[in-house]
Amino acid sequence: MVIDYKGVTFSFKDQKRRKRFKRIRLIVIGVLILCLYFFIANMMDTGSINSVQTLMLENKPAEAAEKFEGIEGGLYHGTAKRELKALLLLFAGETAKAGEILASMDTHSGAVHFQKFQDFFSDRARYVPLKIYTDFLLRVRGGEDLSVYKALYSAALFDFKGSRGVTAQLPPAEKEKHKQKLAILDRINGELETGKLNYIFDVNGKPAAYYDLKSGKTVSLTPGMGFGAFEADFNKSTTFYSLTVDISLQEKLRGLFEKGDYHGTFLLLDLTDTSVTAAYSRSLKGEAENAVFSERYEPGSIIKVLTLFAYLRSGTQELFPFQCKGSMRLGNRTFYDWRRHDTVKDFEEALAVSCNLSFGEMGMNLGLRKFADVLRPFYFNGGDGLRDLFLEFKTGTFNKTASGDFELANLSVGLGEVTTTTFHSAFIAAIIAQNGSVYSPYLIKNKKNLLNLGYYTHPSELLTVFTDNAAFFKVKRAMVGVVEHPEGTGKRSRVDFVQVGLKTGTTGDPHMGLDATLMGFFPEEKPGYAFAFRLERAGKAELRGAYFLKDFLKVFYGK
């Protein structure tokens, strides 16, 4: 076989050319792949930057910071990342570090949605971060659209002259655009110029307290209430608070306390939503600003409503009729009653006449474990989780080692082994009145920023303590008997315009003066309010306490 090479050319130059073209193609393909990689990486970085901003603006700074860590060291968007880093620090309250970063920057990144962050800080009354970020933007970007934010934070930081100076320099178009905001700022600057700013308001919009610029202190306009906790929060950020209390009712309570020269505390809860309608403090100690929420004391016989509830739930109801001899020996000690009740026919009469001996027997029969199983859900021992933003509503305690008969008897009648607060007593009355389920109690209705936009409203949370409707019904009926029974300890509080469920208690040293404690609810047929109060050294609850309640009901109903 003969191979014919005629017409075939072969050259080393062609071979080199083909290899060169192949290398060029590979290089071009590599460059394209690399460009595609960088493009995708850039797009992914951009997407991550937007995700970080979205999380921040959704008020999820922890999640935003975690996501930012994954992109902080990337090759792209260095300016944007530095700006976001500063914003994350502002969210975390590290204003000094944020300021250092922004001071080192000479440009703003278009990838950062600056106005959304300004609105975020403004809407949530975070005026120091707003100032730091706005000042940065004014330096590197400028623009009349930023001046309104400067006027806003200036007013929030009490620089009313600076705020007015900024607004005066706005062009007519900007003034018209922000007409409503500027009107609010003008009113606030006017208040600041007088040296005080009303920042706490009652349920009807009446000023409850103002901030005095000269002294740097809050001045209460609400009888029987102090606002130290509010001032501490206000100092962090200029904020307006709307409360659930009614100042006119507070003033009526002041009249009642001063008329009888009483010292003590009073709390009224609206059972519609368990909001605080009145919270009055005039404590003898005078140490706690709002003793009504914090001062613990021996409750006395008002605790018997829980002893009765535990007894009714136990299923052991063979105690009555009960023979009350006025005292009984428990070991080597004597357990006393105020008087000898002789035959107490049933638990309703026992509560009405407040028979210590019968309730002492209930407690001993129950034992500590069963009684504690009722007390704990009613927020004793560890119930300080009842909070309203920065406010703490303290609850009571009981001796968890009370095991002897004498200790159990005392615990069952509210002496020695147990404490409560006036708030707690009213809250217990609310739980009973509502058959075991109530909304979380609160005083702060909402918080608003300088432009009167709300950024916090109390969230309603249903709390279910017990679901034993039958036992609650019996306790409520027995509490009505405290007032309606001919020998009831609350009979002197009876009025003809509303029926009350009540329990009285008397504690303290007879030589120093007895304390009257009362708790209950009204109207009986459909409870709308729960209350509790303590009158220090006023005498027995069935006398001065009952008369005080009667006077309160008269002023409350305008009789």
pLDDT tens digits for 234-259?
A: 999 999 999 999 999 999 999 999 99
Residue 503 lies in a domain: no
What pLDDT does 271 receive? Answer: 98
**Looking at the structure, do residues 212 and 282 belong to the same domain, yes or no?**
no
Residue 127 lies in a domain: yes
User: Measured on CA atoms in the order 246, 252, 254, 260, is the torsion positive or negative?
Assistant: negative
Q: Is the pLDDT of residue 21 over 80?
A: no
Residue 50 lies in a domain: yes
Burial environment of residue 288 by CB neighbours within 10 A (0 to 12, 13 to 18, 19 or more) = middle
Domain count, the chain: 3
Residue 97 lies in a domain: yes
What pLDDT does 6 receive? Answer: 56
Q: Is the pLDDT of residue 408 over 70?
A: yes
Distance separating alpha carbons of residues 151 and 477, to the nearest angstrom: 60
Residue 406 lies in a domain: yes
**Looking at the structure, do residues 66 and 139 belong to the same domain, yes or no?**
yes
What mean pLDDT do residues 174-195 have? 95
**Looking at the structure, do residues 436 and 394 belong to the same domain, yes or no?**
yes
Q: What are phi and psi of 526, to 5 degrees?
A: -150, 85
Q: Report the percentage of the chain scoring pLDDT > 90.
A: 81
Confidence of residue 70 (pLDDT cuts 50, 70, 90): confident
What mean pLDDT do residues 167-191 have? 94
**Looking at the structure, do residues 386 and 423 belong to the same domain, yes or no?**
yes
Which residue, of 454, 487, 520, is where some domain finishes?
Answer: 487
**Looking at the structure, do residues 99 and 175 belong to the same domain, yes or no?**
yes
Q: Is the pLDDT of residue 384 over 70?
A: no
User: Measured on CA atoms in the order 63, 69, 75, 77, is the torsion positive or negative?
Assistant: positive
pLDDT tens digits for 82-105?
A: 999 999 999 999 999 999 999 999
* pTM score, whole prediction: 0.89
Mean pLDDT over the full length of the chain: 91
Distance separating alpha carbons of residues 330 and 410, to the nearest angstrom: 11
What pLDDT does 8 receive? Answer: 52
**Looking at the structure, do residues 87 and 60 belong to the same domain, yes or no?**
yes
**Looking at the structure, do residues 130 and 229 belong to the same domain, yes or no?**
no
Q: Is the pLDDT of residue 115 over 90?
A: yes
Which helix (DSSP H) or strand (DSSP E) does residue 449 occupy?
none
In contact, 210 and 221? CB cutoff 8 Å: yes
Which residue, of 207, 224, 250, is where some domain finishes?
Answer: 250
Range of the domain at 466: 263-487
Residue 3 lies in a domain: no
Residue 517 lies in a domain: no
**Looking at the structure, do residues 169 and 243 belong to the same domain, yes or no?**
no
Q: Is the pLDDT of residue 389 over 60?
A: yes
Which residue, among 435, 433, 438, 439, has the nearest Cα to 500 in the 3D structure? 433
**Looking at the structure, do residues 297 and 421 belong to the same domain, yes or no?**
yes
211 or 44: which leads in pLDDT: 211
Confidence of residue 438 (pLDDT cuts 50, 70, 90): very high
**Looking at the structure, do residues 103 and 216 belong to the same domain, yes or no?**
no
Q: Report the percentage of the chain scoring pLDDT > 70.
A: 92
Q: CATH code at 401? A: 3.40.710.10
Confidence of residue 509 (pLDDT cuts 50, 70, 90): confident
Helix axes 469-484, 304-314, angle to 10 degrees: 140
Distance separating alpha carbons of residues 316 and 400, to the nearest angstrom: 23
Report strand pairing: 240-243 vs 196-201.
parallel
What pLDDT does 366 receive? Answer: 93
Q: Is the pLDDT of residue 28 over 70?
A: no
Q: Is the pLDDT of residue 186 over 90?
A: yes
**Looking at the structure, do residues 325 and 269 belong to the same domain, yes or no?**
yes
Confidence of residue 512 (pLDDT cuts 50, 70, 90): confident
Which residue, of 149, 171, 192, is where some domain finishes?
Answer: 192
Stretch among 67-71, 150-154, 197-201, 387-391 having the lowest mean pLDDT = 67-71
**Looking at the structure, do residues 428 and 459 belong to the same domain, yes or no?**
yes
Residue 173 lies in a domain: yes
